[in-house]
């Protein structure tokens, strides 16, 4: 158990809908990262938050947004969903100040039908 909690584990929705994925980092970790894993793209970095502030942005679509709350949990919002958004979404956290070791949650499997 990595200590990173993601909910829900599975999500099935329709095109055009909006969903929210939730992540609770390990106790004491200030950084939260979101990654998307798909068969054709591999593991792609989406966005990083550090202590409530956006720190880095990767290949995140404009239809996607994220935030980190004062209690350090994070949410990834995906809107106007398309079939191609179907993927496994991972959250990871790390110790403050370094990207040297990420602790991953078990992911949310999103299926857009």
Partner 1 sequence: AQSVTQLGSHVSVSEGALVLLRCNYSSSVPPYLFWYVQYPNQGLQLLLKYTTGATLVKGINGFEAEFKKSETSFHLTKPSAHMSDAAEYFCAVGGGSYIPTFGRGTSLIVHP
Q: How far apart are CA 5 and CA 23, in angstroms?
A: 6
Q: How far apart are CA 41 and CA 106, in angstroms?
A: 19
Q: Which of residues 40 and 62 has its CB atom nearest to partner 1 in the complex?
A: 40
SS3 85: helix
**Tally of CB atoms within 10 A around 4:** 21
Min separation Cβ 76 and partner 1, Å = 15
Q: Which of residues 4 and 72 has its CB atom nearest to partner 1 in the complex?
A: 4
Q: Which of residues 27 and 70 has its CB atom nearest to partner 1 in the complex?
A: 27
Residues engaged in binding partner 1 (CB under 8 A): 2, 4, 33, 35, 42-43, 45, 48, 56, 58, 90, 92, 98-107
């Amino acid at each position: 158990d990595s200590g990173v909690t993601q909910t829900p584990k599975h999500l099935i929705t329709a095109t055009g809908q909006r969903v929210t994925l939730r992540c609770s980092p390990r106790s004491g970790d200030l950084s939260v990262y979101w990654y998307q894993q798909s068969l054709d793209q591999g593991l792609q970095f989406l966005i990083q938050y550090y202590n409530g502030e956006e720190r880095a942005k990767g290949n995140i679509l404009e239809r996607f947004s994220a935030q980190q709350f004062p209690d350090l949990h994070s949410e990834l919002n995906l809107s106007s969903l398309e079939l191609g958004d179907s993927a496994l979404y991972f959250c990871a956290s790390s110790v403050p100040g370094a990207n040297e070791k990420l602790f991953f949650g078990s992911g949310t499997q999103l299926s857009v039908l």
